[in-house]
Amino acid sequence: KTFETTLDTPAFKGSLSVPLGLYINGEFVDPIEGGEIDVINPANGRIITSIAAGTQADIDRAVDAAERAYKTSWGFKVPGAQRGKMLAKLAHLMKEKQSEFAALDALANGKAYNTAFSRDNSGAIAVMEYYAGWADKISGKTIEVNENKMAYTRHEPIGVVGQIIPWNVPMFSLSLKLAPALATGNTVILKPSELTPLSALLFCTLVAAAGFPPGVVNIVNGYGASAGHAIAAHPRVRKVAFTGSTLTGRKIMEAAARSNLKPVTLELGGKSPTVVFGDADVEQAVKWAIHGIYFNHGQNCSAGSRIYVQDTIYDEFLRGFTEQARAIRVGDPFATDTYQGPQVSETQFQRIMSYIASGKESGATVHLGGQRIGSEGYFMQPTIFTECTPDMKIVQEEIFGPVACLMRFGTEEEVLERANDTSYGLAAAVFTKDIDRAIRVAHALEAGTAWINCANQTEISMPFGGFKQSGIGRELGEYALENYTNVKAVHVNI
């Protein structure tokens, strides 16, 4: 089965054609148990198409294929330079279809086509290129022992790796999982989110053309509780890397521990603070704070959802922030001037609305927004809460929507205490012109990433990951290579 459609929109004109099966051992196959999942367009709530949904039996098949490929035609059997060339070719092929990838993500995720094109998919291509460059630079160390003994380390591939990704940046997530695993010589079974499976299916059509032998890359769609769990719990999957909610991360770690103690990399949720001191450039701070929370409809793990502003500039900041939040263009993902499309699903939309109700009940003030837009699709107003207190659910829990909590503070000591008062620790931003304070605060914030006078920035060469319950391990940069290699110590008696 193939999904075929032609779109004639302001942002994208063209045809889309996507096979809907499971991609196992280099070909599209039907699921053994014959399941399907409807893919919904969040801009109107209508079904776009139905994809094949894998279950345990399909994951078993994929593990067989990945094991076979690892033993016969991948790992150290293929020189790093050759693995790198395949990743570079993949990046090239992705670039040729960048507009189709962006259109598929705009359709199923609801994000603005222009954002999907210039952020997600450009990023995904750049990640492939970056790790293509690493593939022939994986090296161990020679360690001096004594005259009669030579010792060295090897960074060996782990083998069959499982990867499970969410829906918020579909192709970027796929790339940052697959690329380092393939560069280091592993074979992979990846499960995309059931909400946004279409771009990953288009991606499968490029894998063989890039030169990857069958079974090296397997992409199996399906529900988390069946296909996802089967990957995490599989005794022959040697490692699992997951991006998604903290709740699911806990389940993955449990399944990994019970099955074969496979190592886990977890990139989980966040409730990131943005701290604006009185001496900051207010205009710049407002601009970044808007990007921090509202980019991608607030559906960012690192969204700056708690904004602390020093008393002296609170009113000025609130005025500027409100003005810009009000000006955000919410609408059709395929219009050229849209900044915010619909939220990804009815479930997410209802979840956000229930947080808004909870904020009101607990005494916070809806300063802006808080309402649904229109009657079709899952569009919502950019929302600002003021008069928030530390114990409120809207201040403690990840909302994953366009909802900011603005709070005032007096001193540096006080704001640090409040900013760190959360179970999460993914990212944090600080705005000040005082260099000493900027660095002192960036170091004191409990977060895997600290931004000084900017927010929500990702550099491919920089590690990304969480402190506390925001995750385990680091992705991106050289650090991601550690997730996918076993270090072996070799002792040689001379």
Give 389's contacts (C-beta < 8 A, 6+ positions apart).
Answer: 362, 363, 364, 395
Residue with tokens 């075929």: 4
Query: Would you state the structure tokens that stand for residue 377, as one six-digit string?
Result: 């699709």
Query: Would you state the structure tokens that stand for residue 50, as one six-digit string?
Result: 């139905």
Interface with ligand NAD (CB under 6 A), residue from 21, 213, 270, 370: 270
- Residue ranges in 420-473 assigned as alpha helix (H): 435-444
Residue with tokens 């279950």: 55
Interface with ligand NAD (CB under 6 A), residue from 25, 41, 109, 168: 168
Interface with ligand NAD (CB under 6 A), residue from 224, 273, 298, 320: 224
193 binds ligand NAD (CB under 6 A): yes
Interface with ligand NAD (CB under 6 A), residue from 18, 62, 116, 164: 164
The pattern of x and - marking residues 276 through 305 that bind ligand NAD according to CB under 6 A reads: -------------------------x----
248 binds ligand NAD (CB under 6 A): yes
CB closer to ligand NAD, 25 vs 449: 449
The stretch near ligand NAD (CB under 6 A) out of 226-234, 281-289, 387-395, 401-409 is 226-234
228 binds ligand NAD (CB under 6 A): yes
How far, in whole angstroms, is CA 152 from its chain's centroid? 35
**Binding residues among 387-426 for ligand NAD as defined by CB under 6 A:** 398, 400, 426
CB closer to ligand NAD, 86 vs 237: 237
Please tell me the distance from the alpha carbon of residue 9 to that of residue 159, in angstroms, as a whole number.
44
Torsion angle, alpha carbons of 324, 327, 330, 333, to 10? -80
Question: Residue 267 catalytic?
Answer: yes
The stretch near ligand NAD (CB under 6 A) out of 73-81, 206-214, 244-252, 349-357 is 244-252
Class of residue 425 by CB neighbours under 10 A (exposed 0-12, middle 13-18, buried 19+) = buried
Are residues 171 and 101 in contact, defined by beta-carbon separation less than 8 angstroms?
yes
341 binds ligand NAD (CB under 6 A): no
CB closer to ligand NAD, 112 vs 415: 112
Annotate 188-222 with three-state secondary structure: EEEECCCCCCHHHHHHHHHHCCCCCCCCCEEECCC
Are residues 341 and 110 in contact, defined by beta-carbon separation less than 8 angstroms?
yes
191 binds ligand NAD (CB under 6 A): yes
Interface with ligand NAD (CB under 6 A), residue from 112, 252, 384, 404: 252
Are residues 17 and 103 in contact, defined by beta-carbon separation less than 8 angstroms?
no
Region of residue 487 (left: phi > 0; alpha: psi -120 to 50; beta: else): beta
Of 267, 412, 446, 475, the catalytic one is: 267
The stretch near ligand NAD (CB under 6 A) out of 37-45, 72-80, 246-254, 290-298 is 246-254
The stretch near ligand NAD (CB under 6 A) out of 9-17, 238-246, 271-279, 283-291 is 238-246
Catalytic residue numbers, as ranges: 267
Site residues, ligand NAD (CB under 6 A): 164-168, 191, 193-194, 224-225, 228-229, 232, 243-245, 248, 251-252, 267-270, 301, 398, 400, 426, 466, 471
